[in-house]
Structure formats: structure tokens, C-alpha cells
Structure 1
Amino acid sequence: MTEPTPADYVRPKDIDNRATFWQRVQWRLETVAWDLVYWGPMKALGPDKASDFGGWLMRKIGPALSQHKTMRRNLRLAFPDWDAGRIEETALAAWESAGRTAGEMPHLPAIDPYTSGRVEVVGLDVLDAIRESGNGAVFISGHFANWEIMPAAITKRVPSAVMTYRALNNPHIDKRIADLRAAYGTQVNAPKGIGTRELMRALSRGAPVALMNDQKFNEGIPVSFFGHAAMTAPGPTRMALKYKVPIVPVSTVRTGPARFRVEFHTPFVPEDTGHPEADIRRAVEQITAFIEAQVRAHPGQWFWQHRRWPKEAWRDAGVS
């Protein structure tokens, strides 16, 4: 197997192989709706108006979706001292943030981190030092604000960097998003499920990799997140230890419609004491503490819609 090039589109084949005839028909219909109902109208609005409209729309319809109950539970678990009004307002802000992200998606090429004037990049000395070292690094972040901005801030400065992403079930929409990311500057993507070997190959040749490390991972290790055990992926830490490279935390904050601040924080090298499990846990805890601090700073800009904690955490905390 050859190394992926910027033009490559890599996709887990098992997603398509499992599809029935009617599933494939549904994919086609979804793609038509994607183009006509979502992509075309949002593209016509321009980045600021699309961001505003997407945020307004999701703030209206989000509370009617099943994920709203999950968001409330998550927020009550994370912030037990908050009253119902603050919980609800933060949930609405999170819906707005997700809607803005959707509205901004067609306009990503116009939100260039370095030329558009829409993105402030902090910590470029950290990023440039990684590039100049030629030794690679593991960038970690979470689903903050518009999480598509951070990868481009990396790859436009360090073109050899490899990003991970979660492939969509619909191959036609998945390809459209992959092409958009390539146009935006995030050209080399390793889909979860088949991307681990690509990440390891990248690190072995001195190229950085970037991963999200804030979502539930059932095969992970339990570490404290807002005071409750949350299953967390140890993969980024394992790779940093294996290839002896630093972990670089990255945050993204929305500062306005289609405007952001991306910050590269102080790198750290996971301690290697010869006790792998303890070393991994210590670094995963450090990453999770970083994620938590960013969420606390901007709670309305994180993706609360997913089940970060097991149901037992809700039950034990008396959250219904």
C-alpha cells in the first residue's frame, strides 16, 4: 500500500460493503437534499450570514431533538451548582454553535487561518518549532467552536501533518466533505478505523499527526472529566510515547460569525518511567484536564450533544 497523497480520498470499505440496495438509494436522496436544501442556500448567503442563520436555526429546532435531553443531563453532571436557567441557556448556546459550524462549512476556503483576517492564530512559535524539528508531534484537541478550523491552521503551516476524521456513512456526502477539506488546506486525512497505520507511518517519517481526544471511547481508560469517570482514548498518548514526540494541546474559540482564535498551547512530553500503563494514564489525565479547562472557559462552544459519560454516571449523580 502506498502512502496517501494530498489528492487521495481514503474511506473504510466496510461501510459501503454492508450497504443494502435501499441504503444506497437513500444515500442518493440524502445527497440531493444536501446539495439543494443545505449546501446551495448556505453557500449563497456568504460566511457571516450563513453562520448567523445556521446558529439561529439550530437554536430554534435543537431543543426539539432527542439530543437536547442528553445535553441537559451532561450539563447537570458537569455543573451541579448551576440552576435550570443557566443549564438551558448553555444548551441553547451549544446548539447555536453547532448550527454556526454547519452554516460555515461551505465557506471554509474563505476562512483561511492565515490570509482571511477571520482567524487569530496564537502560539505560532510552537507550531513552527514542531515543523522545524522534523521529529513529528501529536496535536490533540476537542470539538470546540468550529473544529474544522484547527486542522487547516496546522496543515497550512506544516503540510506534512496528517489529520484524523470520522467517515460519514453516506459516501457521496463524505467525498464532498473530503474535497472541501482538501480545498481548505486539510489535504491528508486518515479516517478512523483504518487511519491508525497511516498515523504511525506519518510519525515514523517525522510528520505530525492530529486527533480529537474529547469523545467517549468504550475501549479506552476511565479518567476523571468534570469529576466523573469518562472512558477516554489512550491512542494519542500511546503514539507519543512510542515515537518519543511531544503532545501539543490546541484550542479553538469562536470570536464572532465565521471568526475564531486558534491557540497552540505549551507542548509536553509524556513521562516514560518504564511503567507503560501508569505513564499512559498520567498523560491521558493531563490531556483530559486540558479539555475540561477549555470547556469550562467556553461551555457554550463545546459539543455537549454526545454521551461523554456512561449512563451510570448520570444515575449515580441523580441526574434524570
Structure 2
Amino acid sequence: MKPIANKSSGHSRNSLETIQDWIVDRVLRAALWLMLRFPWGQRLAISAGFVSLLSHFTSWRRRIRENLALIMPELPQAEVERLVREVPASFGRTMIELYSPEEFSARIAREELKGPGVPALEAAHAQGRAVLLVTGHIGNYDAMRAALITRGYRVGGLYKPMVNRFFNDHYVSTIERIGEPLFPRNRNGMSEMLRFLRSGGMLGVVLDQHMYSGVLLNFMGQPAKTSLSVAEMALKYNALIVPTYGIRRPDLGFDLIVEAPVEAGDPLETTQKLNDSLEAQVRAHPDQWIWMHRRWRPENLPDHSAG
């Protein structure tokens, strides 16, 4: 439930950075306002094109190529270049969907929940049992939260605030229109989140973020720092762990996938199973995962290659 940007490390921003953040925020807000004037299909196409164009002025394209070279070195160059174009475009569609919360929720409400985990999810809802809905930055990472909220499920989201606090405030206030509560990944937010989970709430969590406090686990064949918090919370609060994904279809709809629950056991083994679940989705839909993430860090790779 978060944008691609990461929270700052706690260091204060200087005046120049603050001014730059304010300017970037205003430019992005203006672009979003303009895109929201168009009908749904055109809106998604314009946002996809805008973010794809924007990627030329960032490190995203270089990072996508580096990550693909690390994880999928066998890909033909033509496919690499296709993904370099399509990955930012997919992210652009996600962003404008999230900035269209009412229409997005209405469209998602018409989609069917699919997969072997649906009965277990429905049973947990009926029993008021806590559930950890684990996903990654693939397709639209907030689609399942929106889908369940429209069905009357009590679902919260954990998010990592952006460095740009101006845009962060706007972004959070927008996705709150899909549903609340939302919990920032800080001390107060985590405390409120745990109370929500103890009360039997469902919590959406993205697992594919580099966490300095995490442990090195395999993700797509390479070591990546991964948080064990999902597995640990499941054991502590008897929560059901369910991998879920909102995979975009060519018709602009979504396949809302609810996989079979992952049994909460040894945190390392449980978290590795969740990494494996996401890996299968990424390999099946590589153009819908955010390859510009710094998911693999050079210091953690066996040969210290760039990642």
C-alpha cells in the first residue's frame, strides 16, 4: 500500500531539498488533475505515457536493466527493452487508479475473487479472525484492499511514507478515500496497527521492500533483505496469512487472486514461502512488477555486482 518512493532515514531535509520537493509536488498534482479530466480508458493511457516519459529523466530505466540482467540474464534484448518501456507505464496506470479512488473501487467491486484461498478468507471474515493479506508491488497493490472493503471486510493498510512530505500528504489523503484505517510505518502507526490486528482486522502488507532490519532470503534466485514481521505477527496474534494479488488484464480489469493460506510456522520458512509466491507472479507477469525497486543491494550479492 505504498508508492515507490521510500521514507527518509530520519535525517532532516535542507531548504533546497524542501523547495525542490514542493515544486515536484505541485507539478505532479497539476498532471494528476489534468489526467483526471479524461474518461477512464484515456486516463490510464495518458498516465502510462506520462510516467513512461518521466522515466527517461530518472534512474528507473537503468535500474530496470540492471535488475533484469541480475535476475533474468537470459532475456532477449528486445524483451528487456519492452519491459523498460512497460514497467513504468504499468506503474503509471496504478498511480492514476489510486488517484481515482471512487471509480476504482466501483470497478473493483465488480471483479470476482479467485483462487484456492477464497473460502479460508471468507471464513476468517465471518469468524472475525485477524488476516495478513500479503502482496507485492505487482499489478495494482491496493486492488485487493479495495475489493474487500467494497464487500464489507474490515481491512487496514500498512504504508511507508515518501521522502516528499508534500506529495505524501496528498497521496495518503487520496488512498484513504478507498478505505481506512491506514497505518504509517513508524512507532505510532505500528502500535495502532497491532491494536487493529488484535481486534480481528485484516491488514494489507507489501513484502517486497528492502528492509535494513530484515534477513537475507532468496528472492528470484538472489539474496534480498526481507522483513520477518508478517510471520512473527501471525504467530503472535493467530492471524491467517494469505498471499493476494491484483493482476491487471488487457481489458483494464483485474484478476483478484487469493492463494491458499501459508501456515504460520518458523518465520524464516514462512517468509521464504511468501517470497516464492510473489516470485511466481513476477515471472508470470514481469511487465507488472516494479523492477525499478532497489530490491537487491550490491553488498548482499555473492559477487557484489550492481543490483
Q: Is TM > 0.5 for Structure 1 vs Structure 2? A: yes
Write the letter of the residue equivalent to 1:205.
Answer: S
Q: What residue is the counterpart of 2:171 in the other structure?
A: 177
Letter in 1 for 2:257: E
Aligned pair count reads 298
Q: What is the RMSD computed on CA atoms of the aligned residues?
A: 2.8
Change in CA separation of 1:115 and 1:200 when aligned onto 2, cut-off 3 Å: closer
| Aligned mate of 1:284, from 258, 271, 274 | 271
Quick one: percent identity of the two aligned structures?
A: 24
Distance 2:67 2:56 in 1: 14
Matched, 1:154 2:148: yes
TM-score of the pair, normalised by structure 2: 0.86
| 1:316 correspondence with 2:298 | no
Unaligned runs of 5+ in 2: 1-6
- Per-residue deviation, 1:254: 0.7
Can you list the C-alpha shifts for 1:49-91, whole angstroms capped at 9, x where unaligned?
Answer: 1111122233344245312111111112111221222222122
Shift of 1:25: 4.8
In the other structure, the counterpart of 2:114 is 122
Distance 1:108 1:318 in 2: 40
In 2, distance between residues paired with 1:114 and 1:292?
A: 27
Against the structure 1 CA distance between its residues 207 and 171, is the aligned structure 2 distance closer, same or farther, given a 3 Å change threshold?
same
Deviations for 1:182-226, whole angstroms, at most 9, x for unmatched residues?
222x21000112332222212222222221001211211111112
- SS at the partner of 1:263? strand
- Report the TM-score, using the length of structure 1 for normalisation: 0.83
Distance apart, 1:287 and its partner CA: 0.5
State how 1:102-251 maps to structure 2 within 5 Å: 102-112=95-105, 117=110, 119-123=111-115, 124-184=118-178, 186-194=179-187, 195-251=189-245
Q: Any stretches of 5+ residues in structure 1 without a counterpart? A: 1-11, 272-278
Cα deviations by residue, 1:82-101 (Å, 9 ceiling, x for unpaired):
12222221222212111222
Letter in 1 for 2:278: I
Give the counterpart letter for 1:151 in structure 2.
R
Q: Is residue 304 of structure 1 aligned with residue 291 of structure 2?
A: yes
**Contact 1:110–1:116 (Cα < 8 Å) also in 2:** no
- Aligned 8 A contact 1:253 1:261 in 2: yes
Structure with greater Cα Rg: 1
CA distance in 1, matches of 2:304, 2:81: 19
- Whole-angstrom CA distance in 2 between matches of 1:191 and 1:176: 14
SS at match of 2:162: coil
Q: Could you tell me which amino acid in structure 1 is paired with residue 203 of structure 2? A: V
Q: Is the 8 A contact 1:104 1:258 kept in 2?
A: no
Q: What one-letter code is carried by the residue in structure 2 that aligns with 1:183? A: R
* Whole-angstrom distance in 2 between the partners of 1:238 and 1:247: 11
Give the 3 Å change call, closer, same or farther, for CA 171–59 of structure 1 in structure 2. closer
CA distance in 1, matches of 2:163, 2:196: 26
Q: Is the 8 A contact 1:127 1:154 kept in 2?
A: no
Q: 1:178 to 1:266 in 2, by over 3 A?
A: same
Which residue does 1:275 correspond to in 2?
A: none
Quote the offset at 1:264 in angstroms.
1.4
Measure how far apart 1:116 and its partner are. Answer: 5.6
Native 8 Å contact 1:55 1:95 kept in 2: yes
1:162–1:209 contact (8 Å) kept in structure 2: yes
Secondary structure, counterpart of 1:44 in structure 2: coil
Contact 2:142 2:246 in 1 (8 A): no
After superposition, where does 1:29-68 map in structure 2 within 5 Å? 29-36=23-30, 38-68=31-61
Q: 1:285 to 1:178 in 2, by over 3 A?
A: same
Number of the residue aligned with 1:3: none
